[in-house]
Amino acid sequence: MPMAGKGMLLTSMDIDAAHEAEFNRWYDREHLGERVAIDGFLEARRYVANIGKPKYLSLYSTETFEVLDSPAYRTALANQTAWSKANINRFKNMIRAVARITISHGVGRAAALGIVRLRPGGGKDKLRAALDPLLDPADLDGIISMHLIESDPALSKPLTKDAEASNPGAGDWFVLIDATSVHAVPKASARIVENAAVKPLVVTNGVYRLLFDLAKSDLHAH
């Protein structure tokens, strides 16, 4: 954007159809507002898959990476409401990435999100350098901004009961592509997933539509 803040929490999950209406109600009416209210959190966005899995995805921006391991955030996690606990216990296939924003080009947020998940392996500095020019949206119509977030393997654990299970993806990276429509995403994604240095590291590649965006300033507008 360059993206506001330096930290990002990415969560993604599936939910059974029987509980989906309540899950969406909880996310819209309680969960996003509760998270954005935490000291150091700047905004939250939630998405639904156009192409990709899991079906639901949320991004939370924080002023610094350290906010995501702060006493304020840990207190919030330890004091979930009964409604939160009920919904979190129903999450399936959960991804929870506590990440640093390491590359950010362009300005603004858009209606669609492309997301490419990478498993970096050893040469991280080399990979980051290879990705940097690929994440410049200047010559891509409909692409507003592009970013790289890098998960912290020690902090990236699901909130569900399988949190302690071994997680080979805990250190994964995610390329985020902010696009004005889902149709603009494939060309930008292809630049990354077809790159010779990057292609062997791609785990998944999806396209999501924005459902709801909530900024800290919105909470104080009432």
Written as one string, the DSSP assignment of 85-145 is HHHHTT-EEEEEEEEEEEEEEES---SEEEEEEE---S-HHHHHHHHHHHT--TTSTTEEE
What is the rounded average pLDDT of the residues 93-111? 95
Amino acid of residue 109 = R
Sorting pLDDT into bands at 50, 70 and 90, what band is 161? Answer: low
Q: What's the distance, CA 168 to chain centroid?
A: 18
What is the rounded average pLDDT of the residues 182-193? 97
Q: Is pLDDT larger for residue 50 or for residue 157?
A: 50
Per-residue pLDDT at 159: 79
Burial 170-181 (b: 16+ CB within 10 A, else e): bbbbbbbbbbee
Is the whole-model pTM more than 0.85?
yes
**Torsion on CA atoms 93, 166, 114, 15, rounded to nearest 10:** 10
* C-alpha–C-alpha distance, residues 78 and 136, integer Å: 39
Burial class (CB in 10 A: 0-12, 13-18, 19+), 13: buried
Sorting pLDDT into bands at 50, 70 and 90, what band is 222? Answer: low
What is the rounded average pLDDT of the residues 193-199? 95
Supply the angle between the helices 124-134 and 185-193 in degrees, to the nearest 10: 150
Burial class (CB in 10 A: 0-12, 13-18, 19+), 18: exposed
201: which residues sit within 8 A by CB, 6+ positions away? Answer: 118, 119, 120, 121, 127
Per-residue pLDDT at 101: 96
Per-residue pLDDT at 4: 54
Per-residue pLDDT at 2: 47
Per-residue pLDDT at 121: 85
User: Could you say which DSSP state residue 50 is in?
Assistant: E
Average pLDDT of the residues of the chain: 93
pLDDT of 169 above 60: yes
pLDDT of 1 above 70: no
pLDDT of 162 above 80: no
Length of the chain measured in residues: 222
What is the rounded average pLDDT of the residues 35-51? 97
Q: Is pLDDT larger for residue 221 or for residue 143?
A: 143
Per-residue pLDDT at 158: 81
